[in-house]
Structure 1
Amino acid sequence: MFVFISQALHVFAAFGVFAAIGAVCLAGSDTHRKAAAILHGVSLLVLLLFGLHLLFSQKLVGTGGWWHAKIVIWLVLGAAPAIARRKALPGGALLGICLVLGAIAAFLGLAKPF
């Protein structure tokens, strides 16, 4: 039962990360950007905690390097608000890249290819 709750909270936190990235990319004022940054940080923390809980509770640590790749992807997604704030990429392009990275992370979590 607790594994199901952990999975649900892990997915919910991933939705929070992408909502925050979208809000940072499209926010008009600094107040909205600050609220989106808080949502982004809290969502990443919840995502990491419940992801590691699932990893260790299901004894998936020794199954390969797929979860290392997921952590790297989530670290890159963690830097997305800083990239958006510096306007290194257009907002739409950054959001598209983040969605592709999220899809890759979801594939890695479901298929565990390596």
Structure 2
Amino acid sequence: MENVISDRGSRYAVAGGPAASPEEAKAFVKALCRNKKFARATHNTWGLLLESGPVKNDDGESGAGLVICRMLEREGLYDTVVVVTRWYGGKHLGGDRFRHVQDAVRMWLAEA
């Protein structure tokens, strides 16, 4: 897997694709988790920006979905779900975890 951010044992990866509803976003995450590597991840957080407003799921990584939504809002990127996956490495990262979520989303945006 390329474009992985590593810090103190934790690893972050990012994926994204079209989604026009919360149900489509959940289906995207479910499809992603068919890959055992993603299914075993500690967190699969995601954000989706719709005309009706942002939709997010922190999946236990409190605040990460909001970070993703804010970045999508800044880009004006609607109807696209972005998923940041974290495999916890055993050490708390504090605020650095938000920086890694932002860096992962930036990587995805640069390639999209």
TM-score w.r.t. structure 1 length? Answer: 0.30
With a CA cutoff of 8 Å and minimum separation of 6, indicate the structure with the bigger relative contact order: 2
Write 1 or 2 for the structure with the bigger share of strand.
2
